[in-house]
């Protein structure tokens, strides 16, 4: 029998021991990836309400990502890229390709930030595995930054050589 006073308080949050102090980011209906809800018995949003809830969660994620200086730099770089494309007379497909690349970069930056937060939460001490996870996320962002930069360089050279 699992008595509440016998539970470990230092255990990491799981669906059965999510803290009740509001510090958890668990939401009803978020258990799709883990096979269950974090709040057993909580009503699950369906239909349009689920879309509204998912949009709200996404906007919260975007607000959280805005706190990252690297993301703000990437947003500034995307705006500068669009201005540069306008100056060199880029084609519509080039704008579209650049916007898609930037959205992928933003998504990877969000995933990298999530990995960093999870590593810091789960393993606050310095560990090789945690360092590797963070380094791999950083490399993914670097690879996309390189792809975006090379594509922007291609567009500039292509349009200035006409």
Give the residue among 85, 115, 17 at the shortest CA–CA distance from 107.
115
Instruction: Name the pTM for this structure.
Output: 0.71
pLDDT > 70 in the chain, percent: 74
Distance between terminal CA atoms of the chain? 77
Residues assigned a catalytic role: 109
With cut-offs at 50, 70 and 90, classify the pLDDT of residue 9. Answer: very low
The third-level CATH classification (topology) of the domain covering 59-160 is Helix Hairpins (1.10.287)
In the chain, residues under CATH classification 1.10.287.3610 are: 59-160
Q: Extract the tokens encoding 42.
A: 């909580």
């Amino acid at each position: 029998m699992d008595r509440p006073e016998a539970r470990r308080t230092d255990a990491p949050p799981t669906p059965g021991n999510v803290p009740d102090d509001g510090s958890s980011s668990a939401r009803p209906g978020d258990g799709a990836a883990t096979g269950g809800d974090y709040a057993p018995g909580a009503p699950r949003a369906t239909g349009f309400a689920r879309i509204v809830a998912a949009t709200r969660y996404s906007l919260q994620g975007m607000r959280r990502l805005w706190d990252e200086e690297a993301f703000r730099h990437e947003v500034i770089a995307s705006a500068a890229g669009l201005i540069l494309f306008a100056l060199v007379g880029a084609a519509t497909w080039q704008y579209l390709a650049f916007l898609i690349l930037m959205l992928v970069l933003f998504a990877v930056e969000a995933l990298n930030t999530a990995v960093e937060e999870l590593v810091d939460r789960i393993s606050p001490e310095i560990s090789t595995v945690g360092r590797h996870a963070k380094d791999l996320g950083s490399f993914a962002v670097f690879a996309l930054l390189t792809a975006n930069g090379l594509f922007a360089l291609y567009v500039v050279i292509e349009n200035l050589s006409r």
